[in-house]
Structure 1
Amino acid sequence: MKEKALAGRAASALQRFMELIDALAQETTDMPLHVQTDRVIKDSGLRAMYEQEKGEKARPVLKT
């Protein structure tokens, strides 16, 4: 991200995403795959997003 190809808000969001990926890669490297997956789902906010989802979209995902 050396070039200013994205506007401020998009660039900030992409930077936070890249930092999240880097941190998860470092912190979970020695964990079993199923633990890594659970950690990524939780730390990325994916679980929270589906918990807030209304209707049929949320139900299959949250059964696990």
Structure 2
Amino acid sequence: MENEKSSKKQVFPMFPVIILVTGILWLINDLHILTIDIPWFPIVLIILGIGWIIDFYKGK
């Protein structure tokens, strides 16, 4: 039973990290601590999401 759990590949949770970083940057921008003017930021998130979906299906 232990071998089955340890043989699973550990995957770093990238999606929660991106959500966390996005939230922190958004808060910093709203508090006017640091002005971040990236109008193409949602496009970067969309491209990352598409890349993860493609990698997921290539790995199967």
What TM-score, normalized to structure 2? 0.38
TM-score w.r.t. structure 1 length? 0.36
Q: Which has the higher contact order (CA 8 A, sep 6+)?
A: 1
